[in-house]
Structure 1
Amino acid sequence: MASREPAYERQPVFVTHQDPVGRAEQNQIAQADLAPYGMADQVEQLWLLDQGNGTYALACIPFCVHGLALHDRVRLSDDGRWVTGLVEPSGHRALRMLWTPTTDHAQLTHRTARVKTEIATAGLLSEWRGRHVAIDLPPAIRPQPLLALMAQEVDAGQASWKWADTEPFAG
């Protein structure tokens, strides 16, 4: 695998994970280009755990990259900077939600608190980045109350949501 450095028209914007759910002492960070998903000049930094066989397991829940989820095994470019392919899916799914911008911060706080409560009640892992949440759904888990609450937010025009696996990974 050759090193794959995307060409950017300007300095890339980095989507980072401040508190990855799989943070460990020996994590590695690699990047995923978000241009294939309509986010030119943006890069997501993904936390990884070395599997010791040339593959790495995702140690975070992707906010933007498609086709990847927590614990999926991936391969990296020769220089170790870029995620270049999915080796083996974990069976987990990532569900993402983004609240619409608002000047009513009390309302946004209330709405996000309700979702945080449902995530905790369902015993799920999540990562937050401002108005954006990425939720890990392990195999065979369908937390209906959380999904219903998220649908209410979307129906009210307060948020949008998307499964991360609606498009394949385009490494």
Structure 2
Amino acid sequence: MSIETKDRQTITHDFPVWRERADFILAARLPEADVPKGFKWEQIWAKQVSDGTFEICCIPFVSYGLALGDWVSTKPLEERIYVIHQIVQRSGRRTYRVWFNSALQRSSTIYQVQKLGCLVEERWKNSDLIAIDSPNLSSSLELENILKELEESLDIEWETGS
């Protein structure tokens, strides 16, 4: 596994959903407008599929336009060698993010989402941020209906990331 230097400016993935596939760690540069306070990078777990091409093996927490299973190319940027440059092939999957403003209903929400066939990645154990992978359009439509209901009845916020 190739790992780039970690620093306090990088958002990391403690529990990547396809960890067993991954053999590389890439960096995604966060645009200034999208940066959570003090962060410049997101660590992206990946599998090298050819020289310079990688399959994303985690659900991005803050990087927009990326989804689990997308194939990306890299190029050096700033002090990093393997920085995501462009999407080579889209996976057809969608990324969602949910912030829990309260721990109430967190477990049942995750269970409900997983019943749809979606994958869930926690920022850390019992984090108030989860990333959700929807494998197809049908699941995405069902997921969005559930998230809209939860947003109205619970203390959550959500967005699409891809």
Mapped contact 1:61–1:134 kept (Cα < 8 A):
yes
Offset, 1:58: 0.2
Offset, 1:37: 4.2
Offset, 1:120: 2.4
Task: Give the counterpart letter for 2:73 in structure 1.
Answer: R
Q: 1:113 to 1:74 in 2, by over 3 A?
A: same
Q: Which structure has the highest strand share of the two?
A: 2
Q: How does 1:8-87 map to 2 (within 5 A)?
A: 12-24=8-20, 27-39=23-35, 41-42=38-39, 43-78=41-76, 80-87=81-88
Percent sequence identity over matched residues?
A: 26
Offset, 1:146: 4.2
The structure with the largest alpha-carbon Rg is 1
Q: 1:37 to 1:90 in 2, by over 3 A?
A: farther
Aligned pairs, how many? 148
Task: Give the counterpart letter for 1:97 in structure 2.
Answer: V
Q: Which moved more, 1:137-146 or 1:64-73?
A: 137-146
Mapped contact 1:27–1:50 kept (Cα < 8 A):
yes
TM-score relative to the length of structure 1: 0.76
Task: Give the counterpart letter for 1:34 in structure 2.
Answer: L
5+ long unaligned stretches in structure 2: 1-6
5+ long unaligned stretches in structure 1: 1-10, 103-107, 166-171
Task: Give the secondary-structure state (helix, strand or coil) at the position aligned to 2:14.
Answer: coil
Task: Give the counterpart letter for 2:149 in structure 1.
Answer: Q
TM-score relative to the length of structure 2: 0.79
Task: Give the secondary-structure state (helix, strand or coil) at the position aligned to 1:141.
Answer: helix
Q: Which aligned runs of 4 or more in structure 1 are off by greater than 3 angstroms?
A: 143-149
Task: Give the equivalent residue in structure 1 for 2:152.
Answer: 155
